[in-house]
Amino acid sequence: MGRSTFDVVVSVFVTVHPHETSALFHSFFCFFFILSAYFVVLPLRDEGAISLGLSNLPGLFVGSLVLTLVAAPFSSLIFSFPNLSKAKVALLNLITISSTWARVIDVMDTESGSRLFGFIGAGATLGQLFGSLFAIGMAFVGPFLLLFAALLMELAAQTSRGINFGSSHVEEQSSPIRKSDSNHDNVTDGTQKIEHTVRGSPKSSTLVKLPIWSIFEGLWLILSSTYMLHLSLFIWLSAVVSSFFYFQKVSVIATTVTNSLGRRKLFAQINSFIAVFILVGQLFLTGRILTVAGVTTAICSAPFVGLLNLAALAVWPNWVVVSICETLRKVVTYVVTRPGRELLFTVVSEDEKYKAKVCIDVLVQRLGDAAAAVMYKMLFGTVNGNPSTVSLHGLPVCFFWIVTAFFLGRRQVQLSKNQISTT
């Protein structure tokens, strides 16, 4: 597809400037291939969890945390070399979705992200739809779907090279998507300036000289900044609530469908159904909502909907309500809150994007999943598996999540204004 053709198609859904086209194109298709691969194998994962027994499900989440603790240092080590992350080392930067978002954020600021993140997210959702439909049609091949997922990941790796290419191309046009990092790193008030003396840029950091300890540097960057701590808390609470819904969904499906192949198809069908609504929202609503309503409203949306969903499940704990709540939760999350969440990282330093962000998106996320698993298991044992009571216990978590999102969004707006005033 030629660039002019892509511009015409994209202009129907989002306002994009000529110098942004290359980075937008490659970001869109990179996430398409990543999410296609993920949703091809996701029904296998969920069915495998059920086949091992619902009582073992919380233990699997804790096991995932342990594996993350082992893998995270290697992932963070890769991003401790700024030259590598700036170069076109595609495969290494695709270790996590977080790292790919970090590369996208690196060439965009709050203004361009508000316009374009929705369309980029649509690429991911289109990948979810494609992967889910493929999984439905090919469910009978079982584990062999992993081979097709590997091919999709290779395509994602090759496509991701263009994200950085787009960035360098943009710089040649003297009209960059985001402003100079030298200005960006100085977006601070008095408190934030103190924090940046600890964070620094890759060139000024002393810990970066010891890449093997980069995972600890990522943690230190989080602990050194109140903004990053609040961001970590926001994502941790998001993971806790999300896992609560996941346990509810899997428990209902396990008791409703007894056939293994049928469960795989049902999981894929649910993912396909949700993807259609998310795709429409991302193409036509995300950019407009973020531009008009702003970051604070965006990141408060998912906690508010989560609160309503848990209240509904407490009153009507059945399959119909679970499916409606799951659809509403994911649509709001991926159409509004997730793009808003990525905007939170547009006002941080390069170290925080490539080190602290990986720790937050991967390690903190897994800590939230594990915490939810432990709490869910304890609650189910205490209330004899009553889903209504379990949902009620989740309401205070959602309320705390809303408060955290509100103050975090306000802080991002303040830092973004400071960034503009210093350029």
Q: What is the pLDDT of residues 220-244, one digit of tens each?
A: 889 999 999 999 999 999 999 988 8
156 token code pair: 């994602």
CA atoms within 13 A on the CB side of 35: 27
Name residues whose C-beta falls within 8 Å of residue 141's C-beta, 6 or more positions apart in sequence.
none
Residue 422, pLDDT > 90, answer no
Residue 140, pLDDT > 70, answer yes
CA separation for the pair 218, 273 (Å, rounded): 37
Residue 125, pLDDT > 70, answer yes
Q: What is the pLDDT of residues 290-312, one digit of tens each?
A: 888 889 999 999 999 999 988 88
Q: Are 282 and 125 in contact (CB under 8 A)?
A: yes
The CATH number that domain 3-422 falls under is 1.20.1250
CA separation for the pair 299, 342 (Å, rounded): 10
State the pLDDT at residue 89: 60
In 3D space, the residue among 371, 347, 404, 364 whose CA is nearest the CA of residue 114 turns out to be 347
State the pLDDT at residue 177: 53
Q: What is the pLDDT of residues 145-195, one digit of tens each?
A: 888 888 998 898 888 888 865 444 434 443 345 543 334 333 334 333 333
In 3D space, the residue among 226, 276, 206, 233 whose CA is nearest the CA of residue 367 turns out to be 233
State the pLDDT at residue 1: 47
State the pLDDT at residue 199: 38
In 3D space, the residue among 1, 97, 36 whose CA is nearest the CA of residue 360 turns out to be 97
CA separation for the pair 147, 134 (Å, rounded): 13
| 3-state secondary structure string across the chain | CCHHHHHHHHHCCCCCCHHHHHHHHHHHHHHHHHHHHHHHHHHHHHHHHHHCCHHHHHHHHHHHHHHHHHHHHHHHHHCCCHHHHHCCCHHHHCCCHHHHHHHHHCCCCHHHHHHHHHHHHHHHHHHHHHHHHHHHHCHHHHHHHHHHHHHHHHHHHHHHHHHHHHHHHHHHCCCCCCCCHHHHCCCCCHHHHHHHHHHCCCCCCCHHHCHHHHHHHHHHHHHCCHHHHHHHHHHHHHHHHHHHHHHHHHHHHHHHCCCHHHHHHHHHHHHHHHHHHHHHHHHHHHHHHHHHHCHHHHHHHHHHHHHHHHHHHHHCCCHHHHHHHHHHHHHHHHHHHHHHHHHHHHHCCHHHHHHHHHHHHHHHHHHHHHHHHHHHHHHHHHCCCCHHHHHHHHHHHHHHHHHHHHHHHHHHHHHHHHHHHHC
CA separation for the pair 15, 278 (Å, rounded): 19
Whole-angstrom CA distances from 341 to 165, 337, 357 are: 25, 6, 11
How many beta carbons lie within 10 A of that of residue 92, not counting itself?
17
385 Ramachandran zone, left/alpha/beta (phi>0; psi -120 to 50): left
Q: Are 95 and 78 in contact (CB under 8 A)?
A: yes
Q: What is the pLDDT of residues 326-382, one digit of tens each?
A: 889 989 998 899 889 988 988 888 888 777 877 787 788 888 888 888 887 777 666
State the pLDDT at residue 197: 36
CA separation for the pair 264, 112 (Å, rounded): 39
Q: What is the pLDDT of residues 373-421, one digit of tens each?
A: 888 777 766 656 566 677 788 889 999 999 999 999 999 999 888 877 7
